[in-house]
């Protein structure tokens, strides 16, 4: 009898344990809370009228029973600038959302800001509200935005762009024939994906040392700061080929172009200058300008003329500078350095060329002049300069005139004894950049390029890319930057 009673008590205890472990229905305890992967979703500065990138956060049910969100909505209701997608369902108000036990859902958030006709950045705030078991929880949404001049596929005449608020180029733009676009100091021009500035007339970029003009993509999040390929138009052909335009593209017939004190970053190509050789007057004058982080080429010049001084052209997928189909070029105190890993590219930092071949026929153009004075041409490849004027090792008949005068060059075994082409060069020596990991091309205090430039050229271009006077110490430095020692 005693054993039967014990068995009965044990059975009742086991049933109690079984029923206590069951999880029927939804958790109803008003103290039960959702948990979130963040308490605030922040959108960095975005432009009005153009939708943002998509952000997301997770909503966790860390309980052993499923939980019912009675209502999930934006506090701003229909006036909100934000948009929600809850686990694939679009809507700014959704009811009766179930999260299984120990599971989670994703909330995706986008925002579009309207122009407010103010030049200062603006802040838009809202929150995602969750109502569960009579209680409310929320996740804050914050977007920093700025009004812009929107240039949408426009062909513009003679005009001036001022530094009042940024310009956003959408669907590319063009400066019309015989017209001039003048851009004043400090102006920022941002380009949406697949957009370029095409110049048939003239472009005058008149930045200053204190207020350079910037040409950038329109993604302003930190992780896009140095990402190539964000802007620049291209044409797709039916055979699968692509024609890539420059981010700033000077069409044949464009003339009297100047780019002074500018930053051009993160495009497919930086600058392309098409055929228009004028030995007496350059098609483009380029001064105190940084061209960096291009998918393909920094400067793509084709049978044209360029005068450049105190410029940095760096980190491009193919050439930093490609001078094709002859032309006339002068580069003074420039740093041309492609420090992408050598295995990631198969082209040198600089190429000179005076012909092309089409359907077996060679078409030859004269390279009237290519002068590089007090310049650095460097990178991790064994050969960072290509002299491309031969077909099957036979020189083509056109002129191929070039001179590297007091330059630091990476040319491996190339014969540089001919003084018609090579004068006082520093061959296959590291320039000693002070912080290459941070893509700084200023010189270290022990750099071989320090005080090694020819002063004759430095006198014509006394101020370096940072505005330092290269005539104020023991001697001018090779490259775009002058090393100024602390006293």
* pLDDT digits 0-9 by tens, 181-197: 999 999 999 998 999 99
Instruction: Please provide the size of the chain in residues.
Output: 487
How would residue 24 be classed by pLDDT, with cut points 50, 70 and 90?
low
| Residue 117: how many other CB atoms lie within 10 Å | 8
3/224 Cα distance (integer angstroms):
76
Which secondary-structure segment (H or E) carries 381?
none
Helix, strand, or coil here: 162?
A: coil
* Average pLDDT of the segment spanning 422-436: 90
Which pLDDT value is given to residue 339? 82
Which pLDDT value is given to residue 191? 94
Closest CA to 409 of 446, 452, 366, 375: 375
- Retrieve residue 324's tokens: 């094709």
322/348 Cα distance (integer angstroms):
9
3-state SS string for 24-83:
CCCCCCCCCCCEECCCEEEEEEEECCCCCCCEEEEEEECCCCCEEEEEEEECCHHHCCEE
201/253 Cα distance (integer angstroms):
7
* pLDDT digits 0-9 by tens, 222-260: 888 889 999 999 998 888 888 999 999 999 999 999 999
- Side-chain-side CA neighbours of residue 468 (13 Å): 18
* Average pLDDT of the segment spanning 258-278: 94
Whether residue 431 has pLDDT greater than 80: yes
* pLDDT digits 0-9 by tens, 368-397: 999 999 999 999 999 999 999 999 889 999
- Retrieve residue 327's tokens: 């032309």
Whether residue 16 has pLDDT greater than 70: no
The alpha carbon of residue 114 and the mean position of all alpha carbons in its chain are separated, in whole angstroms, by 25
Which pLDDT value is given to residue 2? 44
- The burial class, CB within 10 Å (0-12 / 13-18 / 19+), for 317 is buried
305/313 Cα distance (integer angstroms):
17
37/190 Cα distance (integer angstroms):
32
Closest CA to 171 of 155, 193, 189: 193
Which pLDDT value is given to residue 436? 55
How would residue 343 be classed by pLDDT, with cut points 50, 70 and 90?
low
Residue 96 phi, psi (nearest 5): 55, 65
Cα distance between the two ends of the chain: 103
Residues contacting 39, CB < 8 A, separation 6+? 139, 140
Distances (CA, A) of 36 to 56, 96, 107, 131: 11, 18, 10, 14
How would residue 437 be classed by pLDDT, with cut points 50, 70 and 90?
low
- In sequence order, what are the beta bridge partners of 137? 130
Which secondary-structure segment (H or E) carries 15?
helix 2-21
> How confident is the prediction for the chain on average, in pLDDT?
90
How would residue 344 be classed by pLDDT, with cut points 50, 70 and 90?
low
Which pLDDT value is given to residue 46? 82
- Retrieve residue 364's tokens: 């030859």
| Residue 472: how many other CB atoms lie within 10 Å | 10
The answer to whether 219 touches 53, Cβ cutoff 8 Å, is yes
Composition of the chain by helix, strand, coil, percent to 5: 10, 45, 45
Q: What is the CA radius of gyration of the chain?
A: 31
Longest Cα–Cα distance in the chain: 120
The answer to whether 258 touches 309, Cβ cutoff 8 Å, is no
How would residue 1 be classed by pLDDT, with cut points 50, 70 and 90?
very low
| Residue 1: how many other CB atoms lie within 10 Å | 5
Closest CA to 169 of 251, 111, 233: 233
Relative to beta strand 82-86, strand 312-316 is unpaired
**Structural domains in the chain plus CATH codes:** 35-145 (2.60.40.10), 149-460 (2.160.20)
How would residue 172 be classed by pLDDT, with cut points 50, 70 and 90?
very high
> Which pTM value belongs to this model?
0.83
The answer to whether 102 touches 67, Cβ cutoff 8 Å, is no
How would residue 312 be classed by pLDDT, with cut points 50, 70 and 90?
very high
Residues contacting 418, CB < 8 A, separation 6+? none
More confident position, 342 or 121: 121
- Retrieve residue 110's tokens: 């986008």
* Average pLDDT of the segment spanning 310-319: 96
Q: Give the percent of the chain with pLDDT over 70.
A: 92
* Average pLDDT of the segment spanning 83-101: 91
Which pLDDT value is given to residue 147? 86
| Residue 120: how many other CB atoms lie within 10 Å | 8
């Amino acid at each position: 009898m005693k054993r039967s009673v014990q068995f009965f008590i044990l059975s009742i205890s086991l049933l109690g344990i079984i029923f206590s472990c069951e999880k029927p229905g939804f958790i109803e305890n008003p103290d039960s809370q959702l948990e979130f992967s963040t308490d605030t979703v922040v959108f960095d500065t975005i432009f009005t009228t153009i939708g943002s990138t998509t952000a997301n956060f997770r909503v966790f049910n860390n309980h052993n029973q499923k939980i019912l969100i009675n209502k999930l909505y934006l506090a701003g209701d229909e006036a909100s600038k934000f948009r929600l997608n809850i686990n694939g369902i679009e809507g700014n108000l959704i009811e009766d959302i179930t999260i299984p036990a120990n599971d989670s859902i994703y909330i995706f958030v986008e925002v579009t800001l309207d122009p407010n006709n103010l030049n200062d950045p603006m802040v838009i705030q809202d929150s995602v509200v969750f109502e569960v078991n009579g209680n409310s929880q929320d996740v804050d949404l914050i977007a920093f935005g700025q009004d812009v001049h929107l240039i949408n596929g426009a062909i513009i005449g003679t005009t001036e762009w001022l530094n009042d608020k940024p310009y956003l180029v959408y669907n590319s733009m063009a400066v019309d024939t015989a017209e001039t676009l003048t851009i004043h100091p400090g102006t920022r021009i941002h380009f949406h994906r697949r957009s370029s500035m095409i110049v048939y007339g003239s472009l005058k970029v008149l930045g200053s040392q204190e207020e350079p003009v910037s040409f950038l993509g329109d993604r302003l999040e930190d992780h896009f700061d140095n990402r190539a390929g964000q802007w620049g138009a291209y044409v797709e052909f039916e055979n699968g080929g692509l024609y890539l335009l420059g981010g700033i593209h000077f069409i044949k017939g464009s003339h009297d172009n100047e780019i002074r004190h500018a930053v051009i970053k993160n495009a497919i190509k930086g600058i392309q200058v098409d055929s228009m050789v004028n030995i007496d007057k350059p098609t483009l004058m380029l001064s105190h300008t940084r061209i960096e982080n291009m998918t393909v080429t920094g400067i793509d010049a084709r049978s044209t003329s360029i005068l450049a001084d105190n410029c940095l052209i760096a980190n491009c997928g193919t050439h930093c500078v490609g001078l094709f189909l002859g032309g006339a070029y002068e580069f003074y105190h420039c740093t041309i350095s492609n420090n992408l890993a050598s295995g990631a590219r198969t082209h040198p930092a600089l190429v000179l060329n005076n012909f092309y071949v089409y359907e077996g026929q060679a078409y030859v153009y004269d390279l009237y002049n290519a002068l590089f004075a007090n310049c650095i041409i460097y990178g991790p490849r064994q050969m960072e300069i290509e002299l491309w004027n031969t077909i099957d090792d036979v020189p083509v008949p056109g002129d191929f005139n070039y001179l590297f005068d007091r330059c630091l060059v990476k040319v491996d075994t190339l014969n540089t004894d001919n003084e018609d082409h090579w004068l006082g060069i520093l061959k296959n020596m590291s320039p000693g950049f002070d912080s290459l990991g941070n893509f700084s091309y200023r010189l270290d205090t022990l750099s071989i390029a320090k005080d090694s430039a020819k002063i004759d050229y430095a006198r014509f271009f006394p101020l370096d890319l940072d505005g330092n006077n290269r005539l104020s110490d023991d001697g001018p430095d090779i490259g775009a930057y002058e090393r100024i020692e602390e006293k």
